[in-house]
Amino acid sequence: MITQTEWLESLTQNNTPDFAECLHYLSSAFPLLTQLESTIQDPEWHAEGNVARHTEAVLNELYQLLKNDAVHITGRERQALILAALLHDIAKPLTTRTREIDGNIRITSPRHETEGRNLIAIPLMSLNLDYSVVTRIMGLVGYHNWPKLLVIKNAEYRKYLQLALNADIQLLYWLELADMLGRNCPDKQKQLAILAEYRMFAEEYQLWKYSDIEAFLCKDIQVKATVYQQRYVNGYAVNELIRGDISLPSEAIARTYEHCQKYSRLYLLFGISGSGKSEWIKQHKQNNWHVISLDKIREELHGDRSNQKNRGQVLQIARTRLKAALATKHDIVWDATNLRNDYRNQLTTLGRNYGALIILVIFHLDETTLQRQNLARPYSVPTHVLQRQIETIQWPTAEEAHQQLVIGKNGEILLYSNNFDCDGAVP
């Protein structure tokens, strides 16, 4: 019997494991896999049966594609694609329910893609995988419903761009092709035709062949004399294209002309308690940084950073300080867990209103390391609180910020994206 690490490596080669084999090696990391067999699906949309049967069928269809039309997918991409196929419906045991649609009772799993991405984010870090594989799997699982939705909704270019910045747009096509081929439903041919349209639009928008979408988009707007100014133009060009504020990257040059001369950098930290946020600040803090820490404000008010009373007052003080720093173009670090999308969106919206460059610093570690580091802190949180954070985490998306920096164990830089000009620290 080979080890889990050896088994994972075999996926980069020619191994084609069935669902039972995958369960043997990965059920400890992803316990919900053991519940797929008992999770029912709609008998019309998924006549093949429960989620485990569907997953088995998807894996088999994917292996056939990898031998034929997708034979060019090898190595780490192959590994990511197989693991994404295994995990693509991982959240269905938690999200499956019945609802009435057009007078009929149907079985649905709303938001299982997004929830699946959140669920696998921390467990994936316990596996011996290259971080590029981790991000690919998360993107594929979290966005595997998008290809068909974009076509059905006749989506604009900006939505395809948003998808390309969050997931591997090519691998997503092959995953969804296997996903649809692994279903038994009356409209399969129609659904396959929709996927063909998705590929056509992705190619037409020139998003199919570029691995670094940001670099491709910004290649013709490198006009600034300083890295400081250019970084701002690049960040806003990509972000405003996604938001539909501009149609061409070149429009960002004029729109950012004044703000790029002097702007605030808003470092929004994202990480579970014990992930190393405070240590990162200590190591990289610049003299002009304004650090806004909710824990320290609680300590100011109550003499105890763990006191959760008067939460509204704490947030109001923090936002007042944030607005003051943004107005004077200071660089700011918002030091909190920031695990919820709606909470982060309030901060990023405020930052954009002041013309700040928003940098999301993501701390991505495995659960064992998080627990160990939390217990070693002077102010640790209870184990059940840490577990709750892991279970309810809402992972960031590319469009939330202008730049992203991902930090792993011991402060290691795992990824920098959105034209993050990394010199080993921070911009």
- Distance between CA atoms of 31 and 404, rounded to whole angstroms? 30
**Structural domain includes residue 141:** yes
- Give the domain-ending residue among 185, 204, 223: 204
One domain for residues 44 and 177: yes
List Cα–Cα distances, 203 to 13, 218, 219, 239, 247, in angstroms.
Answer: 28, 18, 19, 21, 18
In this predicted model, what pLDDT tens digit does every residue of 338-376 receive, in sequence order? Answer: 999 999 999 999 999 999 999 999 999 999 999 999 999
N residues, the chain: 427
One domain for residues 39 and 160: yes
Are 314 and 301 in contact, with CB atoms under 8 Å apart?
yes
- Residue 253 CA, distance from chain mean position: 28
**Structural domain includes residue 247:** no
Which value, in Å, is the radius of gyration of the alpha carbons in the chain?
23
One domain for residues 151 and 37: yes
Task: Provide the pairing of β-strand 289-293 with 331-335.
Answer: parallel
Mean predicted confidence (pLDDT) in 170-183: 98
**Structural domain includes residue 229:** no
Tell me what pLDDT residue 427 has.
Answer: 47
pTM (predicted TM-score) = 0.95
Q: How many Cβ atoms from other residues are within 10 Å of residue 121's Cβ?
A: 21
- Distance between CA atoms of 164 and 426, rounded to whole angstroms? 25
Residues contacting residue 283 through CB under 8 Å, at least 6 positions apart = 411
One domain for residues 35 and 130: yes
**Structural domain includes residue 74:** yes
CATH number for 28: 1.10.3210
In this predicted model, what pLDDT tens digit does every residue of 29-76 receive, in sequence order? Answer: 999 999 999 999 998 889 999 999 999 999 999 999 999 999 999 999
- Could you tell me which residues are beta bridge partners of residue 413? 407
Please list the helix, strand and coil fractions of the chain in percent, rounded to the nearest 5, in that order. 55, 10, 35
In this predicted model, what pLDDT tens digit does every residue of 218-236 receive, in sequence order? Answer: 999 999 999 999 999 999 9
Q: Which two tokens stand for residue 154?
A: 């006749």
**Structural domain includes residue 332:** yes
- Going by pLDDT thresholds of 50, 70 and 90, the confidence category of residue 422 is very low
- Give the domain-ending residue among 204, 221, 242: 204
- Going by pLDDT thresholds of 50, 70 and 90, the confidence category of residue 307 is low
Are 178 and 62 in contact, with CB atoms under 8 Å apart?
yes
Whether 421 has a pLDDT exceeding 90, the answer reads no
Tell me what pLDDT residue 417 has.
Answer: 79
- Burial of residue 279 (number of CB atoms within 10 Å: 0-12, 13-18, 19+): middle
- CA torsion angle 42 139 93 52 (round to 10): 70
- Residue 413 CA, distance from chain mean position: 16
- Going by pLDDT thresholds of 50, 70 and 90, the confidence category of residue 418 is low
- Give the domain-ending residue among 187, 204, 221: 204
Greatest CA span in the chain, whole angstroms? 65
Are 82 and 11 in contact, with CB atoms under 8 Å apart?
yes
- Phi, psi (degrees; rounded to nearest 5) at 348: -70, -35
Residues contacting residue 386 through CB under 8 Å, at least 6 positions apart = 272, 273, 274, 370, 371, 374
Tell me what pLDDT residue 102 has.
Answer: 85
One domain for residues 177 and 278: no
One domain for residues 199 and 268: no
One domain for residues 46 and 182: yes
One domain for residues 198 and 272: no
Whether 299 has a pLDDT exceeding 80, the answer reads yes
Tell me what pLDDT residue 264 has.
Answer: 97
Q: Which two tokens stand for residue 324?
A: 């003051």
- Distance between CA atoms of 275 and 130, rounded to whole angstroms? 19
Tell me what pLDDT residue 424 has.
Answer: 39
**Structural domain includes residue 251:** no
Q: Which two tokens stand for residue 65?
A: 């594609």
Mean pLDDT of the chain: 94
Structural domain tally of the chain? 2
In this predicted model, what pLDDT tens digit does every residue of 275-292 receive, in sequence order? Answer: 999 999 999 988 889 999
- Distance between CA atoms of 138 and 19, rounded to whole angstroms? 19
Tell me what pLDDT residue 420 has.
Answer: 46
- Going by pLDDT thresholds of 50, 70 and 90, the confidence category of residue 114 is very high
**Structural domain includes residue 216:** no
CATH number for 267: 3.40.50.300
Determine the angle formed by the axes of helices 51-67 and 169-181, rounding to 10 degrees: 120
Are 402 and 239 in contact, with CB atoms under 8 Å apart?
yes
What is the percentage of the chain residues whose pLDDT exceeds 90?
Answer: 86
**Structural domain includes residue 246:** no
pLDDT higher at 68 or 306: 68
One domain for residues 175 and 42: yes
Whether 141 has a pLDDT exceeding 80, the answer reads yes
Q: Give the 3-state secondary structure of residue 25.
A: helix
Tokens 């992803």 belong to which residue? 30
List Cα–Cα distances, 210 to 113, 160, 334, 400, in angstroms.
Answer: 24, 13, 33, 21
One domain for residues 127 and 22: yes
- Distance between CA atoms of 43 and 50, rounded to whole angstroms? 9
Nearest by Cα to 155 from 166, 167, 163, 165 = 163
Are 154 and 140 in contact, with CB atoms under 8 Å apart?
no
Tell me what pLDDT residue 11 has.
Answer: 99
Q: Which two tokens stand for residue 141?
A: 């699982």
Domain range spanning residue 410?
Answer: 263-417
Are 328 and 288 in contact, with CB atoms under 8 Å apart?
no
Whether 258 has a pLDDT exceeding 60, the answer reads yes
One domain for residues 199 and 56: yes
One domain for residues 291 and 143: no
